[in-house]
Structures are given as structure tokens and as C-alpha cells.
Structure 1
Amino acid sequence: MRMLRLATPALLGAAGLAILDLAAGPVAAKPTATTPVPATPAPTLPGTQTFGAPNKTLPGAASLPPAPSKDPNADLAYGAYQRGFYVTAFKEATKRLETNKTDFPAMTLLAELYSQGLGVRQDPARAAEWYRLAANLGDPHAAATLGMMQIEGRGVPKDQAAGRALLEKAAARADATASYNLALILLGTGAPADLTRAVDLLRQAAHQELAPAQHALGVLYLQGRGTAKDPTKAAEWFRRAADNGDLPGEVEYSILLFNGEGVAKDEARAARYFRHAAFRGNAVAQNRVARLYASGRGVQKNLVEAAAWDMAARAQGLSDAWLTQAVSGLNAEEKARAERLAADRAGP
């Protein structure tokens, strides 16, 4: 399941550019379009690439809800799914439905298997059928997923109104991803009432520890959009998003930490967050870490590290003339070390 994602102002605006005032003409960060977050992640099959799945499911979303029964024997299907035994999960879910025609967790599990092509041939249309059956029996997770499928026209005819109605239904039952998706749809309208409700929905999802919602809520507090501008609350939500693994939130929090906006200024701590995000492949963080090493802010000055991180960022299209000048004095051996470090950080 896909969603919209909010553009991050600190990466695009003044806060992001203020990260290192020692550089003449600081580098504007590349826009980071906030990508949709699925309601269910696609477990990576051996030899496959999750990002290449036909439905483009991204990681970082809530997992399938656990089966409601406290009897461990009733959770064999979900247990198999979580361990990657998808054929077994399919068989167990089917077996459960043979004895209980209203077992909506089993229906949702079958829908997910068909949606991702796990243990069965991928079939979005059949996935949508199972999601619909589960949604009609009251499963908010299924309603949320089916709603986004209708908005996208995946497996079912595209129907924005019907998809949004399903999101409303799921959000009313406190489904975090539905609340988040619906909030971002409302933010796109620009109407004041919709903005206020969008903030409320994001708070609901954020308090359920949905990291992208925490990041989005931080963006709105930083912008003062739909709510009073509050850098302190923005920093807190960015921190929680970062601690929950949200990469844009981690970069945002690093920027606020470095600038002392909404949180006590702490260059060394900011550098640790930047480095963590840089090692996760974020080009903006790689560029900022390079600048930190080049200037000795928050870390010990190290021009080889600066050059290596600059190379990593450049490989992703983020160039920086100031850094080029800052590391221009490296000798051949130092440049070779930087190149080896950059290659290692580029990953496989």
C-alpha cells in the first residue's frame, strides 16, 4: 500500500541551509519527496529486491496485525508469515477459513500474500477481494489497505472517493496508517478545516509510534501549518521519528540539534545523528557530515573523511563546491583512502 509523503522544509528551506554558516554559499539540499508508506511491508524473499516488487512497497510500515486469539495454536498462519514460510502461511490461513468463514485476520493474511506474491502468484485483484471481505467484517487494517488500492487503481478500478471513504472508516477505528494517509490527502487540499483535521490525524498516528507520521507532524509544527508554529514540538517529534527509524526525521532532528532550534544546541550529538543517517545512505546527511569533518564542528577535523563523505553524496547527485575547495589539498595517498572509504559506504 502506497501513500503520499510530506516534503521536508528543513531540508529545503532556511533551516537546512543554515547548517554550516562557515561556508560561503551553503549547499541547498536536494528535495526529499516523502514517499508513501505501505500499511504492510513486503518481507524480502531470498534472491529478491523488495523495492523492485510490482507494487513498489517500501519498508518501514506497520506489520500485519496479530491474530486476535490468545491461543498460540490459532496463530500458526501469522507465525509462518513472520518467519518467511509463506506457503505454510497460505495453507494455514486457508484451513482456518474452512472452519470459520468470518475469520477476517486470515482473510487479511491471504490478501497480503496475494498482494505481495508471497507463496502464491502475485494477484492484486484477488488481494483486493480478500481485503474487501475482511474490511466488510470490520478489519480496519484491510479497509486501510483496500482504500489505498482504490485510490491508486491497483487490483481494482481507480476510485478516489471510495478509497477515501475506506480510509475514513479505518481511521475512525484508530488504524495508524489510515490516519496518516488520510491526513496527507487532507493536507493536499489546503483548506483550513482540512489542515486542522490533518494535524489531529497525524497526532493520532504519531502517538501510535508510526514514524512517518511523527516526521510529518514535526514538519507541520516547524512550518506552523495547521497548527501554531512550535520548533520545540517539531524537534521532539523529529527525535521520536528518528528513534523509530525514520530517515527524513533523523536528518531533520540533526539539523535542529546543530542549529539549536527547538532544542539545546549540541553539535557533537548532531554529528552522531548525521553520521547515522549518512551511513544509511542519505545524501543530505552525507554532505553535512562531510562539512562537519572539513570544519571540525562536532567531530575532529579529518579531511580524508570529509572527502569520502563528499564523494558519497556526489554519487547521489549532491555536489558542493565549498567542499571541493576544502579538500583540494589532499595528496594522492589521502585521495585514494577517501575513494576506498566512499566505495565501502556506497554499499553493494
Structure 2
Amino acid sequence: MFRDSEKGREKQERVMCEMEEHAESLASAGEVAAPPGTAGAKVINFKERASEMRIKSTFSGAVHASDAAAAAALGEMFLNGEGVTPDPVKAARFLAIAAKGEIAQSMHQLALLHLDGVHVAYDAEYAIALLQGARAQEHLPSITSLAELYIFAQHCERDIEQALELLYAVVFENDPSVFYYLAYIYDKFPMHRDPHEAAYWYRRAAEFGHYKSQIRLAALYATGLGVPRCQETAEAFLEVALESGTPQDPKLLYWQGERMALQPETRFIARALMKAAAEMHFAPAQRMLLQQGWR
């Protein structure tokens, strides 16, 4: 039994070493030295073209399916610390191999790392190309991530029409994030504003326990925007949102509360959101409670 486990460990270590060597070879593929005698001549700066080269290599299809699958598994291990010490840099190397093998989940994870730009180089162009590649395989998280980028103009230009096309293509997947982003577009952008449509999609998301949508529905019912004005329904949605099992972001609660404090009809929502954020020891919310005299 002991020998078997030792052999298993040795095999895993051998595979990991081989995959790391493969990752290193891919990572250095574009580092070409300038040919002799080119001093003063126009030499391609490969660092400036790193994004273009990465995009080209990603979709070259040079990785065998079995190698890609193994790299995807190792990338997950190092990314999430499953049985190993978390190492996003090493994870990115394995995910890059898996991405070359067109594994959608790995393409998605690698894109997020490059958008974050903390452990690997920030490269929005490459990240968006990865997300678009995963989108071609109908990978839902990549589709919603792309839509989010286009809606909030993060790492790219705002493109609401493209976001709508992406979201409506997967609307029957019953994903609350898809419903929420559709509602957000119809709620917040003047060229597409439709309170009734916004309320419909917020409600669809709220049915899945999406607390952001539940908070927004509380505000809509408090003001009668797109729905009948009803204080009791507003209070009910607010109560459900604050009791949500989903971890809540105190910054978002504070931001929503700050905006809702501006309207008398939604001030009760603002107070509840600020109290919730303050209980999470979010200092700006605690200050707001003191300034407003809310208890």
C-alpha cells in the first residue's frame, strides 16, 4: 500500500514537472533574439507585441487534448490550492497550455487572471480574446463576463448592443446574473430605459435569490417605478435581500444605500443597507449612520 502511494506521488510529481517544462517552453516561444548585424535596423520589439503573440498562440491548436486536460487539472490545483500551495503564477502557466487546447473553463480562468493583472501581466486584449474563445464554446461564465465588461466599460469600450446580444443568447439558461444584467441595462441606460422591462428581469433574478436584484426591486416598489407602488412589497423584498445566504459586499450595500438616501421614498432602504454594511465593520457605513443619526 505504501509503495503504491509512493509511486502515485512520484507519477504526479513527474507529470507536473513535465507540464511545467512544457509551460516554460510555451511562455518563451516568442522570445526571439535579434539577428546579428541588425544594429540600427528596425527590430521587432516582442515585448510590445506580447498580447498579439499570446492571442495567436492561444488558438494555434498545438496542444494535444490529453495534455490540455492534464494542464487544466493542474491549473485548477494551483489556482485553488487543492492539495498544493496556491500559486497563481504557476496556475497561469498550466492554464495557458489548457487554453491552447481550447478548454473553455481554463480560458475563462486565465482571462480573469490577466484582467486582474496582479500575479500575471495585465493584458485586456488577450483576456477578451480568451473570453471570446470560450464564448464560442457557449461557456456561460465567459459570456456573462464579456457582457459585464461591455456594460461597465471595464478594460474595453462600452457596447450595450453587444452586451444585449450576448445576454439574450443565453437567457434560457436561467442564470440570475444574466437576468440581473438585462435588468440593469433597462434600468440604468437612457437609450434603453424601460422600467417595466427592468422590473421583469429583476424579478426573474430575485426568484433565484439574487440579493442585488431584490434590493433594486425594493426600491422600485417603494417608488412605483415600473411596478405598482407598494410599501409592504418593498419591505418584503428588502427583508429577503438582507437575509440572503449569498455573501454580501458591504461596499455595494453602502453604495446602494448612499444613492437611496437621496429620495424620501427609499430612505428606509438606505438605513437598512447602511446598518447591514456597518455590522460588517465597513467604516464609511458606520460614519454615514452617525451623520444621519440612524440607529
TM-score (normalised: structure 2): 0.59
Residue equivalent to 1:210: 175
2:114 pairs, out of 128, 145, 150, with: 150
Residues 216/310 of structure 1: CA separation in 2 closer, same or farther (3 Å cut): closer
Determine the C-alpha separation between the residues in 2 that align with 1:224 and 1:105: 42
Determine the C-alpha separation between the residues in 1 that align with 2:235 and 2:272: 16
Determine the C-alpha separation between the residues in 1 that align with 2:162 and 2:293: 46
Describe the SS at the equivalent of 1:244.
coil
- The offset of 1:154, in angstroms, is 4.7
- Aligned AA for 2:202? F
**Does the 8 A contact of 1:224 with 1:230 survive in 2?**
no
**Does the 8 A contact of 1:143 with 1:167 survive in 2?**
yes
Describe the SS at the equivalent of 2:192.
coil
User: RMSD of the alignment, in Å?
Assistant: 4.2
Structure 2 portions without partners, runs of 5+: 1-8, 20-63
Describe the SS at the equivalent of 1:147.
helix
Residue equivalent to 2:185: 220
Structure 1 portions without partners, runs of 5+: 1-87, 299-306, 328-348
For 1:222-271, what per-residue CA distance to the aligned partner results, in whole angstroms no more than 9, with x for missing partners? 1235x632212211221222233332222112211232322333332321
Residues 119/255 of structure 1: CA separation in 2 closer, same or farther (3 Å cut): same
Describe the SS at the equivalent of 1:102.
helix
For 1:42-82, what per-residue CA distance to the aligned partner results, in whole angstroms no more than 9, with x for missing partners? xxxxxxxxxxxxxxxxxxxxxxxxxxxxxxxxxxxxxxxxx
Describe the SS at the equivalent of 2:66.
coil
Aligned length: 219
1:197 pairs, out of 162, 169, 184, with: 162
Residue equivalent to 1:140: 104
- The offset of 1:177, in angstroms, is 1.8
Describe the SS at the equivalent of 2:102.
coil
- The offset of 1:196, in angstroms, is 0.7
Determine the C-alpha separation between the residues in 1 that align with 2:86 and 2:216: 37
Residues 224/158 of structure 1: CA separation in 2 closer, same or farther (3 Å cut): closer
Residues 272/108 of structure 1: CA separation in 2 closer, same or farther (3 Å cut): farther
Q: Does 1:122 align with 2:109?
A: no
What is the percentage of aligned positions where both structures have the same residue?
23
**Does the 8 A contact of 2:186 with 2:198 survive in 1?**
yes
Is the helix fraction higher in 1 or 2?
2
